[in-house]
Amino acid sequence: METSKPIDILPLREGKELKKWLLKYPDVNIVTRDRASSYSSAINEVCPSAEQVADRFHLLMNLSDALDKYFKSVNPKIKKLIKEKSDELLKKPDGHITANAKV
């Protein structure tokens, strides 16, 4: 984590592979990992006191996912507000919409 260089690359993305690797290093205190739940489970089982840290890439992925979810949730509200305000601006004082107004 301090050098930003991996210390090992596992042959498969499975929790059992990580368990085998962790058993070789019982003094592990911090594990930087991706978001795979199988990794979390393996670390909790073999090194329950180890601190699990998401790497920068996956932190950015978490942020991206959260922002995407947020903007999708507010999109209909924003569209409705824009339509309401557009309709309001296009109306003449007498309450009729102008014929030459462009939307």
**Where do the structural domains in the chain lie, given as residue ranges?**
1-54
Give Cβ neighbours of residue 54 (< 8 Å, ≥ 6 apart).
32, 33, 34, 35, 62
pLDDT in tens, the chain (103 residues): 678 788 888 888 888 999 999 999 878 899 888 888 899 999 999 999 999 988 888 889 889 999 999 999 999 999 999 888 888 888 766 656 555 555 5
The model's pTM = 0.57
pLDDT confidence of residue 85: 86
Give the Å distances, CA to CA, from 52 to 1, 14, 38, 94.
11, 17, 13, 65
